[in-house]
């Protein structure tokens, strides 16, 4: 009984740390989400429908690629740095391993993109060589950006993390604004904003490395858990195994978020690009909150990893449950707004000749809540070191989502994407929930 107040105080301290990190990031990333929304709104109003469709296809291709290739290293760094700090482990081998993996993935992308230039340029990007080179330059620039994100998250530098993503979105928005006010014109200028964004965002890195650049000694981490002495050396095999599992998760995630517009474009002939842009707009109801949820994802993984490293199971469980409860409330509010005002809001923001169906917007809102819940449970499983099990669940649900879109023939392709998204998100949250409960 004597140790209980001290334990409660430690629990409250951990909860406050997680809350502060999530709050700081929520401000930066919340504004980032709004700026990203504005980028697409300006592009939608200023570009012809087919050109705007190409912009959304380019965006989807870029972020499928960078999320699949580079977020595994971000997650690897975030989890590993938090775990090592909690155990009091020293050394820089984890940074060297992560950098090696990141460079290898960037080189692999460059080789594959050059080999597949004709199908990428002609079939995906409508024959535009400019968009093709923008795609390559953007993906390579994001390698450094995602490495920096993982480093900042693992060291709980959430203010700088928020500044990085805000600078990224703001610089991208300026290119769309330049077209909207007539300083420049055309889809190529709007697309160039995607390349400038990750490069400009790296301006925060010198702030993170300030003490090292000045030669000042860094504070020694204090071991706070009983397991620091048995932490194995961090090797390339160790890091690669985690990264490959998370890579599969990221591939599945991007299948959920981006396969719909891409498959709509491929299957609807001459009108495919315009309909892909419309489908992309509908799914922004799910994508835009994901920008905000990045704050939770980014802060909760190092937080849960630290709790696990020091053996604090109750705060771990409470953090997960509180996050799931907040997601349920948020999704319910979004669904109600879409039910009441959805079509009018979408017409106001995006314009165009398409009609937004109220029921479909509500469906995507529900799917968004289920998807965010699954993403939270996924972070809990990663903190427990169960990346392989989580990856299997993601791959199964993503495969079902894609097969439904490819094999089932709907007259209304947008409704098909909406139904597939909700159903796959429900299955994923159920599977990850079962894995989480079994692990506990």
**Neighbouring residues of 179: CB distance < 8 A, sequence distance ≥ 6:** 42, 43, 46, 47, 185, 186, 189, 190
The whole-number average pLDDT for the span 199-209 is 83
**Mean pLDDT score of the chain:** 82
Ranking 1-10, 118-127, 191-200, 288-297 by mean pLDDT, the lowest is 1-10
Q: Give the E-state strand segments of 278-373 in sequence order.
A: none
Q: Which residue has the higher pLDDT, 51 or 430?
A: 430
| pLDDT at residue number 270 | 53
Encode pLDDT of 50-87 as tens digits: 888 889 889 988 988 888 899 889 988 988 888 887 77
Give the confidence band of 112 by pLDDT, cuts at 50, 70, 90: very high
pLDDT tens digits along 156-178: 888 888 889 889 999 999 999 99
Question: What's the pLDDT tens digit per position in 295-345?
Answer: 677 788 888 888 887 776 778 888 889 889 988 998 899 899 989 988 888
Please state, in angstroms and as integers, the Cα–Cα distance from residue 415 to each residue in 149, 187, 288, 351, following that order.
36, 28, 19, 19
Q: Which range (52-66, 280-294, 405-419) has the least confidence?
A: 280-294
Provide the CA 437 distance to its chain's centre, in angstroms: 25
Q: How far is CA 82 from the centre of its chain?
A: 19
pLDDT band at residue 2 using 50, 70 and 90 as cut-offs: very low
Q: Which residues fall within 8 angstroms of residue 201, CB to CB, at 6 or more apart?
A: 145, 148, 164, 165, 167, 168, 171
CA-based nearest residue to 376, from 331, 324, 334: 324
Nearest to 69 by CA among 198, 247, 253: 247
Residue 363 has pLDDT above 80, yes or no: yes
Instruction: State how far Cα 257 lies from the chain centre.
Output: 10
Cα–Cα distance measured from residue 381 to residue 374, given in angstroms and rounded to the nearest whole number = 11
Whole-number Å distance between alpha carbons of 177 and 284: 20
Q: Considering only CA atoms, which of 386, 366, 369, 362 is closest in space to residue 436? A: 386
**Closest among 301, 309, 415, 412 to 360, alpha carbons compared:** 415
Helix, strand, coil abundance in the chain, percent, nearest 5: 85, 0, 15
Residues 393 and 432: beta-carbon distance below 8 Å: yes
> Are 252 and 398 a contacting pair, CB within 8 Å?
yes
88: left (phi over 0), alpha (psi -120 to 50) or beta: left
- Picking from 330, 367, 274, 261, the residue whose alpha carbon sits closest to that of residue 47 is 274
Of 46-50, 211-215, 353-357, which gets the smallest average pLDDT?
211-215
- Residue 427 vs residue 251, higher pLDDT: 427
Q: Tell me the pTM.
A: 0.75
Span 181-187, average pLDDT:
88
Please count the residues of the chain.
440
What's the pLDDT at 373? 93
Q: Which residue has the higher pLDDT, 263 or 112?
A: 112
pLDDT of residue 310: 76
């Amino acid at each position: 009984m004597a140790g209980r107040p001290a334990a409660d105080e430690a629990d409250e301290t951990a909860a406050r740390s997680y809350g502060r990190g999530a709050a700081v990031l929520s401000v930066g990333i919340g504004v980032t989400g709004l700026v990203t929304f504005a980028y697409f709104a300006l592009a939608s109003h200023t570009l012809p429908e087919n050109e705007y469709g190409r912009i959304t296809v380019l965006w989807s291709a870029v972020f499928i690629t960078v999320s699949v290739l580079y977020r595994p290293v971000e997650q690897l760094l975030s989890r590993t740095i938090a775990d090592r700090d909690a155990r009091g482990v020293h050394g820089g081998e984890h940074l060297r391993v992560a950098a090696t993996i990141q460079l290898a993935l960037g080189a692999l992308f460059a080789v594959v993109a050059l080999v597949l230039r004709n199908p990428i340029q002609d079939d995906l990007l409508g024959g535009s060589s400019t968009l093709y080179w923008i795609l390559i330059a953007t993906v390579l620039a994001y390698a450094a950006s995602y490495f920096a994100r993982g480093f900042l998250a693992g060291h709980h530098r959430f203010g700088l993390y928020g500044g990085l993503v805000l600078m990224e979105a703001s610089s991208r928005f300026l290119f769309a604004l330049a077209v909207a006010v007539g300083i420049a014109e055309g889809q190529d200028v709007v697309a160039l904003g995607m390349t400038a964004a990750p490069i400009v965002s790296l301006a925060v890195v010198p702030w993170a490395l300030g003490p090292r650049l000045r030669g000042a000694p860094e504070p020694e981490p204090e071991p706070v858990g009983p397991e620091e002495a048995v932490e194995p050396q961090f090797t390339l095999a160790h890091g690669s195994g985690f990264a490959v599992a998370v890579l599969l998760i990221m591939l599945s995630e991007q299948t959920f978020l981006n396969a719909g517009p891409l498959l709509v474009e491929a299957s609807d002939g001459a009108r495919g690009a315009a309909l892909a842009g419309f489908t992309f707009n509908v799914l922004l109801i799910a994508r835009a909150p994901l920008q905000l949820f990045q704050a939770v994802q980014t802060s909760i993984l190092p937080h849960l990893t630290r709790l696990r490293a020091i053996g604090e199971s109750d705060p771990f469980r409470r953090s997960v449950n509180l996050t799931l409860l907040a997601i349920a409330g948020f999704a319910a509010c979004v669904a109600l707004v879409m039910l009441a005002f959805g079509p009018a809001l979408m017409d106001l923001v995006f314009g165009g000749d398409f009609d937004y169906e109220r029921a479909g917007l509500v469906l995507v809102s529900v799917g968004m809540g289920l998807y965010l819940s699954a993403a939270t449970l996924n972070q809990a499983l990663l903190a427990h070191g169960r990346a392989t099990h989580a990856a299997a669940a993601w791959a199964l649900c993503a495969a079902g989502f894609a097969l439904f879109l490819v094999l089932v023939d709907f007259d209304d392709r947008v409704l098909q994407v909406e139904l597939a998204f909700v159903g796959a998100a429900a299955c994923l949250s159920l599977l990850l929930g079962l894995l989480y409960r079994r692990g506990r």
